[in-house]
Structure 1
Amino acid sequence: MLLHEAVGRALVAHGVDTMFGLVGDGNLFVVDSYVRHAGGRYVGATHEANAVHMAHGYAVLSDRIGVATVTHGPGVTNTLTALVEARKAAVPLVLVCGDTDSLDRDGPQVIGQRDLVLPTGAGVEQVRSAQTALEDLSTALRRARTERRPVVLNLPAELVHAEVDFVDQRVELPAEARLALDDGQLDIAVGMLASAQRPLILAGRGARGAATSLSALAARIGAPVATTLGAKDLFRDDEANLGIFGTLASPAGLDAITKADCVFAFGASLNRYTTVKGSLLADKTVIHCDLDVGRLGRLAEIDAAVVGDAGDVAETVVAWLNEAEIPSSSFRATIFAEGSRDREESLLAMPVAGGGRVAEGGRVDVRTALRAIDAAVERDRTFVTDAGRYLAVAWPEVHVDHPDHFLFTVSFGAIGTGVGSAIGAALARPDHPALLVCGDGGLMLGGLAELSTVSRLGLDLVVVVCNDSAYGAEYVQLAGADLSPGLTEFSWPSFEALAGAMGFEAITVNDAEDLGTAVERIRARTGPMLVDIKLDPAAMPDVAH
């Protein structure tokens, strides 16, 4: 068969049931063969960056390798920011790129694609020949999975129509082995817990499968529980939940964190946002547990390290504590008894505005709006965000049933990632609604045209635009320096009208009455919906640092 037919067939043989992309001269025949001959599902994007964002969202929410495809030259250059985002987020992803003819020196789309891609941190596999192409594809898929990063596969144009024999090159990767726990490490950790008067359990994304075991450990030692942003809502139904630990902590939650004298962190990187540049771990005993020994103590000073699965370690620690008859602390009971505070309002609530003023003109504040949206969209949703200063409210206030249903898209700090990522995430969980919270700038930069893709696919996606008609992070810097923020302000066209033209139900929210109407319409929606919330840029929260 022709090589493009073999590549299409090989993708399906490798289990790639969905591929995202934008077709051009360099990849057109591969995509056609993938769909027409191999039966794969192809989702066309309006921009190459969004094709990669879609594959990113699909990979994270499906726990599979995401696959995207673009043409050569400008098709590749348009993906670079998306590749960096996926690399920083450690997402396994393969980007199948056309490459110009190896003998073509001065064609308009000739560029050194390998040299462009490598600085993003993504890997590169060059198709060496028609005879090795299927092996090269298999290698790219294997590398994406084992290296936990994007890998770009360059397919030169002169090979696409070469005749080859199809050979199944699938490689079955072994399951991850469970490490035997080190009694010496555990003994040190248990000793530290036994000496603690005010212990706290912190779960990161690496511990998101161990909620039951970690809650049991916390109850046994009298500790409250908290999570990093990556594991948000892991303890949503735990009576001792403090919410997010770090720059997004509520004032009451931060008070409890500050009082703790021992933090047992499971599957958390302990990055500067979680630790507030180390300040939240100062004067505390820190025990760090992770499956990857290379992550232990890499970003924060720790007192003890335990290599192992979070659930296994937590259950073993409980057994040892029981065997030694070590009593529980009273810290948990004290924290939740102080002042008879309402847990939901006091421990999990962020301030309404981080140093801003009250919204003018009868407009709702961003917290009120997002709380109403959180209550209106079904609880089993997939939650995605773009980047912007509204995140200081969106991340703590909008919830999910499990952290696996939350997609973080801000590893590179770029706006414009949201709509594409939400499309991929929604396709990975097709029987569940998806909720995207984005800013006006991010929507205009990278997502507006992709609303047409949402409509074309008939996705149950609610897009909430936090619209302060400004680039907010820059607005607050100029305003804070007593300079005019006019450079950051924009008069956008009506998002309601634009979304309606693309097949969305849409509504503009200017005040509390409009918000009530929006909630009713969200609950009664029959297709994709956009809610444009008009906000006062001077009353928005500051970005968490």
Structure 2
Amino acid sequence: MKVYEAIAHGLWDMGCTELFGVLGDGCVYVVDSFRRDTKGHYFPAVNEGGAVLMAQGWARVTGRIGVATVTHGPGLANTVTALIEGVKAATPMVLLAGVTPATDLEHAQHINHVELVTATGAGVVNLRGTDTVAEDLVRAFHRAWTERRPIVFNMPIEFQWQEIEYEKPVLRLPQTRAAIPSSTDMDDAIGIIASAHLPVVIGGRGVDTPEAEAAVLRFAQRIEAPVATSLRGKGLFAGDPFHLGVSGTVSHEVALDAIGKADCLVVFGASLNKYTSGHRGLTRGKRIVQVNPLASEIGRCTPVTVGLVGDPGLTADAMVKWLDEAEIPGSGARSEHLREQLQAWDAQKRQKLMHKTPAGTVDLYEIAFALEEALPKDRVFLTDSGRFMFAFWNVLSVPNPHSYVDCNGFSSIGLGLATAIGAARAAGERPTLLVVGDGGFTLSGLSELATAVDEKLDLVIVVPNDGSYGAEHIALSAHNMDPSLSLLPQRDFARIAEAFGAKGLTVTSSAELQSAMQAIATRDRKRPMVIDVKVDPASVYGGAPISRP
């Protein structure tokens, strides 16, 4: 067996069934063997950065390690933004990259792979030789999982055609399901919780199983605390009558009041970054207990009073046991008054959030509410980066955190469609919804639309088209400057989508929006759909205050 065949077989034997990539002489033979010999599924992306994003979208939805491959030199260079997104979003993935032959000092595609990848924050594992293929592959996957970031596996071209005896790689990933049975930190945490009058429990992406979610909710009910989530914890605690929604910069008025008045936050599986903490306004002056399986996450973003390293679910159950043994009463924070406030907000939110816009346009919240009702609840939902995203974050629901993916780790527009392609593959029979701005869709979405069509994905793409770079429109307007610099030429995305083979629709009114929602219900689920919704750029609020000099 040749080295390139051993790499392909090794991927399959470690559980890799999907490989995203762009062909080049540094990876083409690995791809051929993976597709032909192992029967794995290869997704041919248009752009190398798109291939990496597809692997990340697949990883976020499945909870497994995504895998992509590119060639050397410009192939790897085109992945820089996508790698940074993966690092900032803590997404485990392996990128197999060919390496220019070391003997060719004048090769046009030569670059220093290690320096380039290191600058993105991703890690590097080199294939050291023909006798270490299995060992080095395992190391790359192990590091991707434990370090929660992309790892680039460098494959020197001169090795790939050498004959070796195949050694099956064995990948054993460490389990992090542990709880602290007793410690000073646990004693302190129980003391803080027992003395809290207005506690709030916040769940994040680290509460990643139904069992863990149920345990954290039992804990919240035991201490009589309302619950909230981080943005990436979206989908947790659905149906709980004391669910405050997302904590932080996108919180509604009732949630802001409840979290703001809290004297204690108990945080499970969330980093408590500046957005979840409302730029620290929701954490200032509070006692905070943070539970996370990774010690590196404790206090990383926000200083905490006590940190517990352990599985969120097991730790929540352990704390309930301690509270029961000590006969600590509940706080009473799950009050009838709070329940009534939340019910009133839910009844009034359409009226409070939706606004009239000029003729020929539709309000963002109207779009969001329509989509919430039109698509099945068991769906995957993604947003690209842009000011439009706040409306959809507030309204669109998902069944669990693995069903929500934001492409906002690097705050770069244009990452949404490629990520959605990987997510849609992982979604199986469930539909996938992507909301992406017109600038982001033009930036890189158009190139990968062909991939979505070729793969016959059940993907609905909604483009809130305000004809501008939205954040810049806000910034110029906030400084009393002419926002016309931020305006973009109007593009007919429906016709462009049809040219690629997708279904295209244009929406300019409430009536057309309802027709589009009916079209979603009767769509061909093997043909992506693009809905171009015209939005007024002056009517869109970005959701975060603009800082003035």
Normalised to the residue count of structure 1, the TM-score between the two structures is 0.95
Correspondences of 1:281-320 after superposition (within 5 Å): 281-320=283-322
CA contact (8 A) 1:350 1:393 kept: no
Per the alignment, residue 83 of structure 2 pairs with 83
Instruction: Give the Cα separation in 1 of the matches to 2:114 and 2:306.
Output: 42
Instruction: Give the Cα separation in 2 of the matches to 1:349 and 1:253.
Output: 16
Q: 1:359 to 1:434 in 2, by over 3 A?
A: same
Instruction: Give the Cα separation in 1 of the matches to 2:282 and 2:14.
Output: 45
Is the deviation greater in 415-424 or in 535-544?
Answer: 535-544
Per the alignment, residue 408 of structure 1 pairs with 406
Instruction: Give the Cα separation in 2 of the matches to 1:533 and 1:544.
Output: 23
Is the deviation greater in 234-243 or in 123-132?
Answer: 123-132
Instruction: Give the Cα separation in 2 of the matches to 1:543 and 1:64.
Output: 32
Per the alignment, residue 246 of structure 2 pairs with 244
Give CA-to-partner distance per residue, 1:279-330, whole Å, 9 cap, x none.
2112322222222233222322322333322222322333333333333233
Give unmatched runs, 5+ long, in structure 1: none
Q: 1:375 to 1:142 in 2, by over 3 A?
A: same
The Cα shift of 1:212 comes to 1.8
Instruction: Give the Cα separation in 2 of the matches to 1:289 and 1:514.
Output: 47
Is the deviation greater in 97-106 or in 357-366?
Answer: 357-366
Instruction: Give the Cα separation in 2 of the matches to 1:339 and 1:7.
Output: 58
Give CA-to-partner distance per residue, 1:451-472, whole Å, 9 cap, x none.
1111111111110111111110
Give CA-to-partner distance per residue, 1:143-163, whole Å, 9 cap, x none.
222222111122222222222
Per the alignment, residue 352 of structure 1 pairs with 353
SS at match of 1:411: coil
Q: 1:479 to 1:31 in 2, by over 3 A?
A: same
Per the alignment, residue 95 of structure 1 pairs with 95
Structure 1: which amino acid aligns with 2:502? Answer: F
Per the alignment, residue 155 of structure 1 pairs with 155
Per the alignment, residue 34 of structure 2 pairs with 34
The Cα shift of 1:71 comes to 1.1
Structure 2: which amino acid aligns with 1:87? Answer: V
Instruction: Give the Cα separation in 1 of the matches to 2:104 and 2:470.
Output: 46
Q: 1:321 to 1:454 in 2, by over 3 A?
A: same
Per the alignment, residue 235 of structure 1 pairs with 237
Q: 1:35 to 1:203 in 2, by over 3 A?
A: same
Per the alignment, residue 20 of structure 1 pairs with 20
SS at match of 1:332: coil
Give CA-to-partner distance per residue, 1:91-132, whole Å, 9 cap, x none.
111111112111111222122222211111111122233333
The Cα shift of 1:396 comes to 1.6
CA contact (8 A) 1:48 1:75 kept: yes
Per the alignment, residue 274 of structure 2 pairs with 272
SS at match of 1:459: coil
Q: 2:382 aligns with which of 362, 377, 384?
A: 384
Per the alignment, residue 63 of structure 2 pairs with 63
Instruction: Report sequence identity in percent.
Output: 40
Q: 1:301 to 1:123 in 2, by over 3 A?
A: closer
Per the alignment, residue 487 of structure 2 pairs with 489
Give unmatched runs, 5+ long, in structure 2: none
The Cα shift of 1:336 comes to 2.2
Normalised to the residue count of structure 2, the TM-score between the two structures is 0.94
SS at match of 1:274: coil
Give me the CA root mean square deviation: 2.0
Give CA-to-partner distance per residue, 1:43-95, whole Å, 9 cap, x none.
00011000000000111211221111111111111001101111111211111
Per the alignment, residue 139 of structure 2 pairs with 139
Instruction: Give the Cα separation in 1 of the matches to 2:261 and 2:347.
Output: 20
SS at match of 2:206: helix
Structure 2: which amino acid aligns with 1:352? Answer: L
1:541 aligns with 2:538: no
Q: 1:362 to 1:495 in 2, by over 3 A?
A: closer
The Cα shift of 1:362 comes to 4.7
1:417 aligns with 2:415: yes
Per the alignment, residue 189 of structure 2 pairs with 189
CA contact (8 A) 1:386 1:438 kept: yes
CA contact (8 A) 2:176 2:311 kept: no
Structure 1: which amino acid aligns with 2:511? Answer: E
